[in-house]
A and B are shown apart, each in its own frame.
Chain A
Amino acid sequence: MPTHANNAERLLKIRNLTIEGHSDDEWIEIVHGINLDLHKGEVLGLIGESGAGKSTIGLAAMGFTRDGCRISGGTIEFDGMELTTRPKSELRSLRGSRIAYVAQSAAASFNPAHRLIDQHTEAPVHYDIMSRSDSQVDAMELYEKLRLPNPKEIGFRYPHQVSGGQLQRAMTAMAMACRPDLIVFDEPTTALDVTTQIEVLAAIRDIVEQFNTAAIYITHDLAVVAQMADRIKVLLKGDEVEEADTATMLRSPREDYTKSLWAVRSFQKPENLRPDASSAEIPVVAVDAVDASYTRGAKVLHDVSFDIHRGMTVAIVGESGSGKSTTARCITGLLPPSSGVVRFNGEELPPSYKQRTKDQLRQAQMIYQMADTALNPRIKICDIIGRPAQFYSGLSGSALKTRVEELLDLIELEPAQYYSRYPPELSGGQKQRIGIARALAAEPSFIICDEVTSALDQLVAEGILKLLDRLQSTLNLAYMFITHDLATVRSIADEVVVMKEGRVVEQGPKTVMFKPPHHAYTDLLLSSVPEMDPDWLTRLLEERGVDNIGEAARN
């Protein structure tokens, strides 16, 4: 793979690129002198945490900057043309026809008012590369190459009529419409489930190879970039950390930062086992034969049952739409189950949260996926954390202040510094810690963690997982951990419950669950998690066959 780096023609040459961002009436440098080379047909992976400047550099490769950013220095040479000094109109004609961009969220990037194929043919027709009818035929061919179902017909649907994975592939097809020399992929699979991710990855890799297109692949997921890229460049806060071809980078990273990124998935807490059946300990939470449906809709939960014991973590795993979060809503009482009961320490809970006592509400707390929407932006940190303590334990004055400081210490944030800040002044990881502190302030015995790490960078996510683990052992908490990320399950869970289409498919202790034989669906989920091995996707495709991945494999 890396061999053609030397003899192929150079397509993109970025030298000493600096980009500035505008904030508070000054320009702050956010990318500090990046060099980048890309040859025809080569795929370069850009990885790093959020704020590393990945997307900014990716867009700069098209001669584009977001609002409030400007290229302040350096050169960008695309196929012999200097982009930084080109007039805007020429850059515009370059984009779409010779350089294309695939965005993170296809659902948000497609215009919902137009059919897929009409959006597809827009660029080729606009640039007089193809006639509308030729372009439509070409679109269908591309859809077929990307293994979309019904390639002749799918283009005539509207974006909301196809699934997320299909939409992301349709977007890749659209990027290919003018046969560009370079495609920038900006986290194209981050918003997708593992099983869907595979089909998109396989499709992208295939089509890039077939048309010998050069690509910049931006992601924060190392295992994904290992499958896609010929070379990997690691970025940190707008600086390059190191660059090497994929195999070398995975085998022997030079820099400490890269090594720490590589080691992220190594955290694993010791597994707790359920107390003996003979001791007959009553589980903290017992979900018993719960059915549920949203108002007048179809049933979304079918006979869901599982137990959560004191001091243990139960991971609920499944794709989106499998009923994980609905189960959590039944436990918290936001969605009263249509039949079945939820027991708390053996005691039956009233179905709706409105009928529960203060103490019942206090015992079960929740940590949310999006810390941004889970914390009121207009309330100070001390009040966010202090309110549950005040509400449930009746603390006030200096006792309340001491308690809040204690909680801030517990989540490893300096009380003096964070006590009177507002949530928007914190980073994503810090916000999530505040969310944890708010749950702890109620002194619960059971916490529901709803995808708490999926919006965070891997290093930050690991910190959160370690914190949750430490809190569990000191406070003897029971966790219900909702996630679709099996790496997280592997590191933190004691027991695993696998859900599919509102039913529990399989459940058991982690060690048992991660060893064969599995239920077919568990197997599919497990084998779909990308591994840090560059040949993993190739092997998987050989095992399953190209037509039997993703959605096709589910049935």
Chain B
Amino acid sequence: MEFLHGWMPAFMVLATIAGVLLAAVAMSWLFRALLVWVLPGEGSKVMRSAPLTASFGLFVIILYALAGIFAPWVAPYGESEVIASSFAPADDKMLLGADQLGRDMFSRVIFGARNTVGIALIATSLAFLMGATAGLIAATRGGWMDQILGRFADVIMSIPSLIFSLLLLSIFGTSAFVLIVIIAVIYAPRVFRLTRAVSGDVVVMDYIEAARLRGEGLWYLIRKEILPNSKAPLIAEFGLEFCFVFLLIAGLSFLGLGIQPPTADWGSMVRDNATLISFGEITPLIPAAAISLLTVAVNFVVDWMLYRSSGLKD
């Protein structure tokens, strides 16, 4: 028995990893079964053929959404409530211990879901609204309109995004509103490019010609004829861009230019607690893990959607 002693920790780690993976698979399976049972007609059929990764992704996203929306009720303590000494270890009141000011880590992770994810979602939506609209107009109108919008997008894309956002944030200050607008402006050109390429294939179809000859206006063409046919890749791209935006916000917060204290934010939480790493504590890695889990989950769902939009030729 003695020789096993040295192996025990390694074995425990392996067993934990295996256990977590097994639990994730079982949970994904159960969640999918639940969705198949709960959702009506079409949705149930879609879920039945969904892979486990997609159901895992959906589960995590829904979990994050619930945590974010109901943060004040879910979190045991307030966002900036100091309840212990700084860097207090975990006990039966504090699930994950305290941060550098003695605030409950677990509560801050939950509030962080609301702030970081919320801002990322709004910024991505705004980027899509601007980029997709411009892309659709450029593809439908063509000519000089296409040229102007295209060159404008080129200009924005030619500046490295992190440096550009740092520059703009130091000029305009660091409020949440400014952050959202700047991120949307930086990401809109990518959406523009994709939308223009996708709808470029649609505008040459005969049914668009028929609609033009009918005398339909630009708005009708975009909304009724082009958008339904270029929706699928755009939705997939939304998921992907959301991850990038999310990482950019976390990165900016880590650099101190993103979401400002005392608002809880995963990026700045990593920075603030970074010193703990040298003491062998995993506390700063928890918000980082929250970031990577969400990124992985979103990508699982996006992969599934891409597969569906390319594989199903309906």
The residues of A with any CB-CB pair to B shorter than 8 Å are: 332-334, 353, 356, 358, 361, 366, 368, 370, 373-379, 387-388, 391-392, 422, 424, 438, 442
Known contacts A368-B210, A373-B207; is A358 also within 8 Å of B215 by CB?
yes
Query: Would you call B212 and A438 a contact (CB within 8 A)?
Result: no
Taking a contact as CB atoms closer than 8 A, the residue among A377, A391, A442 that contacts B216 in the complex is: A391
Query: Would you call B207 and A376 a contact (CB within 8 A)?
Result: yes
Query: Would you call B228 and A379 a contact (CB within 8 A)?
Result: yes
In the assembled complex, the Cα of A358 lies from the Cα of B207 at a distance in Å of 18
| B205 CB contacts on chain A under 8 angstroms | 373-374, 376
Q: In the complex, which residue of chain A has the Cβ closest to the Cβ of B49?
A: A25
Query: Would you call A373 and B214 a contact (CB within 8 A)?
Result: no
Minimum distance in angstroms from B170 CB to a CB of chain A: 46
Query: Would you call A353 and B213 a contact (CB within 8 A)?
Result: yes
Query: Would you call B214 and A361 a contact (CB within 8 A)?
Result: yes
Minimum distance in angstroms from A327 CB to a CB of chain B: 15
Query: Would you call A361 and B215 a contact (CB within 8 A)?
Result: yes
| B229 CB contacts on chain A under 8 angstroms | 376-378
| B78-134 at interface with A (beta carbon < 8 Å) | none
In the assembled complex, the Cα of A540 lies from the Cα of B117 at a distance in Å of 77
Query: Would you call B206 and A373 a contact (CB within 8 A)?
Result: yes
Query: Would you call A332 and B213 a contact (CB within 8 A)?
Result: yes
Chain A CB within 10 A, most for which of B213, B214, B216, B225: B214
In the assembled complex, the Cα of A356 lies from the Cα of B216 at a distance in Å of 12
| A358 CB contacts on chain B under 8 angstroms | 215
Taking a contact as CB atoms closer than 8 A, the residue among A334, A370, A377, A378 that contacts B213 in the complex is: A334
- By Cβ-Cβ distance, the 4 closest A-B pairs, closest first, are A378-B228, A374-B206, A376-B207, A373-B206
Listed A/B pairs (29) with beta-carbon separation below 8 Å:
A333-B213, A334-B209, A334-B212, A353-B212, A353-B215, A356-B215, A361-B214, A361-B215, A368-B206, A368-B210, A370-B206, A373-B205, A373-B207, A374-B205, A374-B206, A374-B210, A375-B207, A376-B205, A376-B225, A377-B229, A377-B314, A379-B228, A387-B214, A388-B214, A391-B214, A391-B215, A391-B216, A438-B210, A442-B214
| B212 CB contacts on chain A under 8 angstroms | 334, 353
B204-226 near A? 1/0 per residue, CB < 8 Å? 01110110111110000000110
In the assembled complex, the Cα of A503 lies from the Cα of B228 at a distance in Å of 41
| A442 CB contacts on chain B under 8 angstroms | 214
The residues of B with any CB-CB pair to A shorter than 8 Å are: 205-207, 209-210, 212-216, 224-225, 228-229, 314
Q: In the complex, which residue of chain B has the Cβ closest to the Cβ of A332?
A: B213
| A422 CB contacts on chain B under 8 angstroms | 314
In the assembled complex, the Cα of A318 lies from the Cα of B257 at a distance in Å of 69
| A366 CB contacts on chain B under 8 angstroms | 210, 213
Minimum distance in angstroms from A296 CB to a CB of chain B: 15
In the assembled complex, the Cα of A286 lies from the Cα of B142 at a distance in Å of 31
Chain A CB within 10 A, most for which of B206, B228, B229: B206
Query: Would you call B314 and A424 a contact (CB within 8 A)?
Result: yes
| A376 CB contacts on chain B under 8 angstroms | 205, 207, 225, 228-229
- Known contacts A353-B215, A379-B225; 19 further A-B pairs (Cβ under 8 A): A332-B213, A333-B213, A334-B209, A334-B212, A353-B213, A356-B215, A358-B215, A361-B215, A366-B210, A373-B205, A374-B210, A375-B207, A376-B228, A378-B228, A378-B229, A388-B214, A391-B216, A438-B210, A442-B214
In the assembled complex, the Cα of A442 lies from the Cα of B214 at a distance in Å of 9
Chain A CB within 10 A, most for which of B210, B215, B216, B229: B210
In the assembled complex, the Cα of A333 lies from the Cα of B212 at a distance in Å of 11
In the assembled complex, the Cα of A301 lies from the Cα of B212 at a distance in Å of 23
Q: In the complex, which residue of chain B has the Cβ closest to the Cβ of A387?
A: B214
In the assembled complex, the Cα of A60 lies from the Cα of B153 at a distance in Å of 52
In the assembled complex, the Cα of A361 lies from the Cα of B212 at a distance in Å of 10
Q: In the complex, which residue of chain B has the Cβ closest to the Cβ of A441?
A: B214
The prevalent SS among residues of B at the interface is: helix
In the assembled complex, the Cα of A531 lies from the Cα of B216 at a distance in Å of 45
Minimum distance in angstroms from A36 CB to a CB of chain B: 32
Minimum distance in angstroms from B169 CB to a CB of chain A: 41
In the assembled complex, the Cα of A377 lies from the Cα of B224 at a distance in Å of 11
| A356 CB contacts on chain B under 8 angstroms | 215
| A375 CB contacts on chain B under 8 angstroms | 207
Minimum distance in angstroms from A19 CB to a CB of chain B: 21
Query: Would you call A374 and B207 a contact (CB within 8 A)?
Result: yes
Q: In the complex, which residue of chain B has the Cβ closest to the Cβ of A384?
A: B207
In the assembled complex, the Cα of A470 lies from the Cα of B207 at a distance in Å of 25
Minimum distance in angstroms from A392 CB to a CB of chain B: 8
| B209 CB contacts on chain A under 8 angstroms | 334
| A368 CB contacts on chain B under 8 angstroms | 206, 210
In the assembled complex, the Cα of A532 lies from the Cα of B10 at a distance in Å of 84
| A332 CB contacts on chain B under 8 angstroms | 213
| A370 CB contacts on chain B under 8 angstroms | 206
Q: In the complex, which residue of chain B has the Cβ closest to the Cβ of A356?
A: B215
Q: In the complex, which residue of chain B has the Cβ closest to the Cβ of A435?
A: B210
Minimum distance in angstroms from B144 CB to a CB of chain A: 14
In the assembled complex, the Cα of A375 lies from the Cα of B229 at a distance in Å of 12
| A392 CB contacts on chain B under 8 angstroms | 214
Minimum distance in angstroms from B91 CB to a CB of chain A: 54
In the assembled complex, the Cα of A333 lies from the Cα of B205 at a distance in Å of 17
| A378 CB contacts on chain B under 8 angstroms | 228-229
Minimum distance in angstroms from B109 CB to a CB of chain A: 42
Minimum distance in angstroms from B308 CB to a CB of chain A: 15
Minimum distance in angstroms from B36 CB to a CB of chain A: 16
Q: In the complex, which residue of chain B has the Cβ closest to the Cβ of A359?
A: B215
Minimum distance in angstroms from A279 CB to a CB of chain B: 32
Minimum distance in angstroms from B211 CB to a CB of chain A: 8
In the assembled complex, the Cα of A134 lies from the Cα of B263 at a distance in Å of 80
Q: In the complex, which residue of chain A has the Cβ closest to the Cβ of B225?
A: A376
Q: In the complex, which residue of chain A has the Cβ closest to the Cβ of B228?
A: A378
| A377 CB contacts on chain B under 8 angstroms | 229, 314
In the assembled complex, the Cα of A403 lies from the Cα of B37 at a distance in Å of 41
In the assembled complex, the Cα of A361 lies from the Cα of B209 at a distance in Å of 13
In the assembled complex, the Cα of A396 lies from the Cα of B114 at a distance in Å of 45
Q: In the complex, which residue of chain A has the Cβ closest to the Cβ of B212?
A: A353
Q: In the complex, which residue of chain A has the Cβ closest to the Cβ of B204?
A: A373
| B216 CB contacts on chain A under 8 angstroms | 391
Minimum distance in angstroms from A336 CB to a CB of chain B: 14
| A334 CB contacts on chain B under 8 angstroms | 209, 212-213
In the assembled complex, the Cα of A411 lies from the Cα of B242 at a distance in Å of 48
| B206 CB contacts on chain A under 8 angstroms | 368, 370, 373-374
In the assembled complex, the Cα of A387 lies from the Cα of B224 at a distance in Å of 11
In the assembled complex, the Cα of A100 lies from the Cα of B148 at a distance in Å of 53
Minimum distance in angstroms from A441 CB to a CB of chain B: 10
In the assembled complex, the Cα of A548 lies from the Cα of B210 at a distance in Å of 42
| B314 CB contacts on chain A under 8 angstroms | 377, 422, 424
| B207 CB contacts on chain A under 8 angstroms | 373-376
Minimum distance in angstroms from A58 CB to a CB of chain B: 24
| B213 CB contacts on chain A under 8 angstroms | 332-334, 353, 361, 366
In the assembled complex, the Cα of A438 lies from the Cα of B206 at a distance in Å of 13
Minimum distance in angstroms from B302 CB to a CB of chain A: 21
Minimum distance in angstroms from B227 CB to a CB of chain A: 9
In the assembled complex, the Cα of A356 lies from the Cα of B210 at a distance in Å of 15
Minimum distance in angstroms from A231 CB to a CB of chain B: 37
In the assembled complex, the Cα of A376 lies from the Cα of B224 at a distance in Å of 9
In the assembled complex, the Cα of A358 lies from the Cα of B216 at a distance in Å of 9
Q: In the complex, which residue of chain A has the Cβ closest to the Cβ of B229?
A: A378
Chain B CB within 10 A, most for which of A376, A387, A391: A376
In the assembled complex, the Cα of A151 lies from the Cα of B225 at a distance in Å of 49
Minimum distance in angstroms from B22 CB to a CB of chain A: 29
In the assembled complex, the Cα of A374 lies from the Cα of B206 at a distance in Å of 4
In the assembled complex, the Cα of A388 lies from the Cα of B216 at a distance in Å of 10
Q: In the complex, which residue of chain B has the Cβ closest to the Cβ of A365?
A: B213
Minimum distance in angstroms from A485 CB to a CB of chain B: 20
